[in-house]
Amino acid sequence: MGGNAEQRLAQMGIALPVASAPAAKYANYVIVDGMMYVSGKGPSGHPRGKLGVDFTTEQGYAFARSVAIEVLAVLKDALGSLDHVKRVVKVQGFIHASPDYEEHHKVLNGFSDLMVEVFGDNGSHARSVFGAISLRDQLPVIVDSMFRVEV
């Protein structure tokens, strides 16, 4: 796919929503010295439940992909254009899962895959994924992320 990040999204049929507001008393993002830190975001529709109990890995992948779309909306809102994102640096995923669930990494691929689809090689990033016994509002996935940006 050629073109800039927003053209790639359009080619994929993805329209960015209005960026959501923080769920509590914190900033949606902070930019310091060319780095943008996006607060943890959950999936659209606010599903409730655990991977391995209420949801399959495939559903978790879709949830993580919807989180990526939300994060892209925050980036666009903050920067005016996704072209100001120079690199996806680090992604941390928290997967609300049963104690015996082992496919956390496959769930977070939903987020990672979209970053690479949108930003190409600059979408490849370091990442960590953690299983969580609980998450706010019983969300199945929360992702926080860090980007190198040009402002």
Over the stretch 114-127, which tens digit does the pLDDT of each residue have? 999 999 999 999 99
Q: For the segment 119-149, what is each residue's pLDDT rounded down to a tens digit?
A: 999 999 999 999 999 999 999 999 999 999 9
Distance of alpha carbon 110 from alpha carbon 125, whole angstroms: 13
pLDDT at position 3, please? 56
pLDDT at 1 over 70: no
Distance CA 148, CA 150 (A): 7
Q: Is residue 87 part of a domain?
A: yes
Cβ atoms of 47 and 63 closer than 8 Å:
yes
Inside any domain, residue 89 = yes
CATH number at residue 55: 3.30.1330.40
Which has more pLDDT, 24 or 55?
A: 55
Q: Is residue 30 part of a domain?
A: no
Give residue 105's domain range.
Answer: 5-16+35-149
Report the predicted TM-score, pTM, of the whole model to 2 decimal places. 0.95
The pLDDT tens digits of the residues spanning 53-89 come to 999 999 999 999 999 999 999 999 999 999 999 999 9
Question: What pLDDT band is residue 23 in, cutting at 50, 70 and 90?
Answer: confident
- Is the model's pLDDT at 2 over the cut of 60? no
* 3-state secondary structure labels for all residues of the chain: CCCCHHHHHHHCCCCCCCCCCCCCCCCCEEEECCEEEEEEECCCCCCCCCECCCECHHHHHHHHHHHHHHHHHHHHHHHCCHHHEEEEEEEEEEEEECCCCCCHHHHHHHHHHHHHHHHHHHHCCEEEEEEECCCHHHCCEEEEEEEEECC
